[in-house]
Amino acid sequence: MAFLEYLPAPAWRAHIAAYWVRRAGAGPAGRRVYADGCADIFCNVGASTAFYHPMARPEVVVALEPGVLYLGGTMTAYGVVRSEPCGLFTGIRFRPGGFYALFGQTMEPAVDTVLEFPEEGLRLAMQGEEGLASRLDRWFDSRPEPRVGRYDFSALRALVDSSGGQVSVEALAKEAHVSNRTLERIFKENVGIRPKEFLRIARFQEVLKRLRQAANKEVPAMGDRRGMPAVSEESLLRVAYELGYYDHAHLTNEFKKYAGILPSQLSHFYKTGIAGGRYF
């Protein structure tokens, strides 16, 4: 399964992380999607229906029909997308709070689900891979200036990112000069979930970052990597301690919720290069 990302024009990078294209291979494909605090607008530009399974709502299966534009909200657990051979999706990944800044629509209804997004001009701009980034830049350029709210969520997001999710809710409220209750409303508007849950996801993302970094340091540039061991238990304990998890079991439980696999398994996939489209 091929996955490509394109940077948006500089004017949009504060709110948009990337434009992306995902193309399935010759057989049926399944892709695990990790919780990351982001939202996506995407379009099924292939010829067959795909299906999204949000693990936070295991009784729900969302059909992703060809030619339809969708909004995928913040996830509080991992999800799985299953597609038929040669499926094709184009998408826009928004930074946390980026969708709300650009569209002024609260994210709360889209948490842990996918909703149809009736924006015909944007749907047309997302048809096809060739020239996708330039078409989307022009579409955003044609719209009004980004929403300027009373509270700057990008400053809160930066504080969360720089701390690896270890900043307190009280410190975030102090940064925004608001009460904890008002902070909760700000987070529900911008990302759809409470600040405490967002911090847990940010900390999980910091674990992913550290596992990638460890794999990049330890994996040789050339040669067969399939026999390399996963990250040691000692390394995982150190990560758990440094990021404020109670113990190794706490880290493992959070990781299974947000990724669907164990941290040692993911480390092995990073090191061996066999992850493909199945685990990321």
Digit-coded pLDDT (tens) for 169-221: 999 999 999 999 999 999 999 999 999 999 999 999 998 888 777 766 654 44
Does residue 227 have a pLDDT over 80? no
Q: Looking at residue 226, what is its pLDDT? A: 42
Cα–Cα distance for residue pair 59/65, rounded to 1 Å: 19
Kindly indicate the confidence band of residue 91, based on its pLDDT and cuts at 50, 70 and 90. very high
What global pTM score does this model have? 0.88
Does residue 124 have a pLDDT over 80? yes
Domains and CATH numbers, the chain: 2-141 (2.60.120.10), 149-280 (1.10.10.60)
Highest mean pLDDT pick, 27-31, 85-89, 157-161: 157-161
Q: Looking at residue 244, what is its pLDDT? A: 85
8 A C-beta contact, residue 78 and residue 32: yes
Kindly indicate the confidence band of residue 258, based on its pLDDT and cuts at 50, 70 and 90. very high
8 A C-beta contact, residue 18 and residue 7: yes
Residue 159 DSSP SS3: helix
Average pLDDT over the chain reads: 86
Q: In what order do the strands lie in the sheet with 2-6?
A: 2-6, 16-23, 88-94, 39-44, 69-72, 114-116
Over residues 15-71, the pLDDT tens digits come to 999 999 998 765 556 788 999 999 999 999 999 999 999 999 989 999 999 999 999
In angstroms, the first-to-last Cα distance of the chain is 10
